[in-house]
A and B are shown apart, each in its own frame.
Chain A
Amino acid sequence: MQAMNVVVCVKQIPDPAAPASLDESTHTLDRTGKLILDDSDSYGVEMALQLADTEAGDEVVLVSMAPNGEVSGLRTALAMGAAKALLVSDPVLAGTDALGTAKVLAAAIRRVEPDLVIAATESTDGYTGTLPVQVAEILGLPSVTFAKSISIDGSNVKVERQTEAGYDEVESPMPVVVTVTAGVVEPRYPSFKGIMAAKSKPVETLTVADLGLDASEVGVSGSRQEIVDVSEAESRSGGEIVVDEGDGADRIVAFLEQIKVI
């Protein structure tokens, strides 16, 4: 079988552990500082590496977009074992909405000629959850969402797709876009050797113009989505404290039934 190109869409986000701030005019997240690999993408990277590890010559290529040329998050995924990265970085990208991002990523992915495109179901900072299927639509590829496992069978992928009741077995011809649910695999740690090797792995940086896109399609001006206003989330109430007087288990069950968890 011919060597396979597995593309993983990865997002570099501000460290969720650090205080975040919003741009006052656009209400978008301030991304000017150091960015890290979105944790939810580490599952897709791991799944791609597991697929690539089974066949010699298969390669995992990262595709990402960042307005400020940041590569720290990409280096983490490269240290995990990805072969190379393609970063679209351009000041005009600041404030791009999900559809604009999908256009940019699709144009970048097209250059790699992938057999399989993997993405997280949603990012940790934006949470739109729309980007992967938009990318698939733009590329004219089928998409399979919420994968808990992916296997290659000839020129098809077989996916176990999570549902509320269990999972569906889905088969699709390649190339295909598959979204991976967080937590379905255990991402490997970037080892010391992986970290050092990542220093010399290629990261190709492209501008919007390099991709043949018009600047008016991206950024704040190209966005069809506008964040009109933001407000503080309501602070959580203290909850109800129940003292166990021998009926603790029953009361927990009753509570879970009440909120329809069980």
Chain B
Amino acid sequence: MVIASTDEHEMFRKTLRDLFAREIVPYIDDWERDRTFPAHELFPKLGAAGLLGLEYEKDYGGGEADHGFTLVAGEEMGRIDCGGVPMAIAVQMAMATPALAKFGSPELKEEYLAPAIRGEMVTSIAVTEPDAGSDVAGIRTRAVREGGDWIINGSKLYITNGTQADWLCLLARTSDEGGYRGMSMIVVPTALKGVEVSRKLDKLGMWSSDTAELSFSDVRVPVKNTIGEPDRGFQQQMVQFQAERLITVYRYIGSIDRALSRTREYLLERHAFGKPLLANQHIQFTLAELSARYDMLKHYAYTTAEAAARGEDVTRFATIGKLIGARLQREVADTCLQFYGGLGYMAENWTSRFYRDSRLDSIGAGADEVMLRILARMDGFSVS
């Protein structure tokens, strides 16, 4: 099987490249400055192209596409000149909606998934809390059943799209069982009384993407808004994390390729000591080595996508790809900035933004240490 190799995949790649070039790239500097982007203006355009519901059921406006289209989407998102907007798109298509699509009731999917696929509703994934990030089992936000409603109290932190979201895929404790048990996944509309953006957060990078701290005070949500089975939220979130990590790995393929290409072009033009910078063997060898490692990552990502397309468990693939890809992307960002010299350090240059934005990839969507913890367990390198 050769993933994403048909004319249709190539045509969709061109659609995305043209779409991003026209609807996103010209506005990035403004959005970075504003520390947000207009999701309600942009997402309907992405929805019309079919990006936001690629693999979801046609009944809800999805495309029932093969997984190769998700790979293409990730690659092209990675080629966008910032990390913030692609991250926000990824939240909409692969972080806040997969569990709803897989486990949600038809009514819930009609009410919340379909408008998210069309881009009319903006979504966020609300799992992390002030005292529980990587350790998801430590969340404290609680939903207590009262008649036909959940009453939710607590707070969520580092929520991408958090100031603009229409609904949240929220993980809350719904029973007194500790640890991984007793959590439920609930669709929480943000217009409900008691849902507040308590802070808009400032970050090292990803400036064009808004990030929020959210608070929940006696928020009353119908129990029918529960995604899948009550008390199975943690397990469902682990499934959702896989989709998040896959699209993240695919984004690295686009972002690293573009960074190395741009750097090569610059180093050919930039002269120092009477010759192009690229004439220096140190630079040649450094970039050649990064290129070699990128090639391995790309093939690994394609193998991952093929396994996912076959419906196999890709936990190990996604974990390794996420870990190695994030680290390679950081190294590439650092190297490109270094070889651009003073220009590379300037905020106006892409290298500076890429360097800032890449730093998150070893923390968000499962920190490197979480990936290592998963791998150590899978490969028998851990005892408890």
Smallest beta-carbon distance B10→chain A, Å: 9
- Would you call A189 and B49 a contact (CB within 8 A)? yes
Q: How large is the interface on B (under 10, 10 to 19, 20 to 34, 35 or more residues)?
A: 10 to 19
Return chain B residues, CB-CB under 8 Å to A75: 7, 11
**Count of A-B contacts with CB under 8 A?**
37
Q: Is A190 an interface residue (CB 8 A)?
A: yes
The chain B residue with its CB closest to the CB of A192 is B50
Q: Is A76 an interface residue (CB 8 A)?
A: yes
Smallest beta-carbon distance A15→chain B, Å: 10
- Would you call B18 and A195 a contact (CB within 8 A)? no
In angstroms, Cα B219 to Cα A176, docked, is 64
Question: By the criterion of a CB under 8 Å from any partner CB, how many residues of chain A are at the interface?
Answer: 12
Q: Is A224 an interface residue (CB 8 A)?
A: no
Return chain A residues, CB-CB under 8 Å to B51: 192
Q: Is B150 an interface residue (CB 8 A)?
A: no
Q: Is A199 an interface residue (CB 8 A)?
A: yes
Smallest beta-carbon distance B249→chain A, Å: 21
Return chain B residues, CB-CB under 8 Å to A76: 11
Interface centre among A76, A79, A192, A199 (most CB of B within 10 A): A192
Return chain A residues, CB-CB under 8 Å to B50: 191-193
- Known contacts A75-B7, A75-B11: A192-B18 contact under CB 8 Å: no
In angstroms, Cα B300 to Cα A224, docked, is 56
- Would you call B11 and A191 a contact (CB within 8 A)? no
In angstroms, Cα B69 to Cα A72, docked, is 18
- Would you call B7 and A72 a contact (CB within 8 A)? yes
- Would you call B49 and A192 a contact (CB within 8 A)? yes
Q: Is B296 an interface residue (CB 8 A)?
A: no
Q: Which of A76-100 contact B (CB under 8 A)?
A: 76, 79
Q: Is A196 an interface residue (CB 8 A)?
A: yes
In angstroms, Cα B49 to Cα A75, docked, is 16
Q: Which of B318-348 contact A (CB under 8 A)?
A: none
- Would you call B15 and A196 a contact (CB within 8 A)? no
The chain A residue with its CB closest to the CB of B10 is A72
Does more than half of chain B's interface fall in helix, strand or loop, or is it mixed?
helix
Smallest beta-carbon distance B268→chain A, Å: 18
Smallest beta-carbon distance A112→chain B, Å: 25
Return chain A residues, CB-CB under 8 Å to B7: 72, 75
Q: Is B48 an interface residue (CB 8 A)?
A: yes
In angstroms, Cα B8 to Cα A199, docked, is 8
- Known contacts A191-B48, A192-B50, A192-B69: A79-B11 contact under CB 8 Å: yes
Q: Is B288 an interface residue (CB 8 A)?
A: no
In angstroms, Cα B63 to Cα A190, docked, is 14
Return chain B residues, CB-CB under 8 Å to A191: 15, 48-50
- Would you call B8 and A195 a contact (CB within 8 A)? yes
In angstroms, Cα B8 to Cα A196, docked, is 7
Return chain B residues, CB-CB under 8 Å to A72: 7
- Known contacts A79-B11, A199-B8: A192-B19 contact under CB 8 Å: no
In angstroms, Cα B7 to Cα A72, docked, is 8
Q: Is B279 an interface residue (CB 8 A)?
A: no
In angstroms, Cα B69 to Cα A18, docked, is 24
Q: Is B31 an interface residue (CB 8 A)?
A: no
Q: Which of A174-193 contact B (CB under 8 A)?
A: 189-193
In angstroms, Cα B14 to Cα A191, docked, is 10
Smallest beta-carbon distance B52→chain A, Å: 10
Interface centre among B7, B11, B50, B65 (most CB of A within 10 A): B11
Return chain A residues, CB-CB under 8 Å to B8: 195-196, 199
Q: Is B266 an interface residue (CB 8 A)?
A: no
4 additional contacts (CB under 8 A) given A190-B14, A190-B15: A72-B7, A75-B11, A189-B19, A195-B12
Q: Ordered nearest first, which 6 A-B pairs have the shortest CB separation?
A: A192-B50, A189-B15, A192-B63, A191-B50, A191-B49, A195-B11
8 contacts between A and B (CB under 8 A): A75-B7, A189-B19, A191-B48, A192-B51, A195-B8, A195-B15, A196-B8, A196-B63
- A residues whose Cβ falls under 8 Å from a Cβ of B: 72, 75-76, 79, 189-193, 195-196, 199
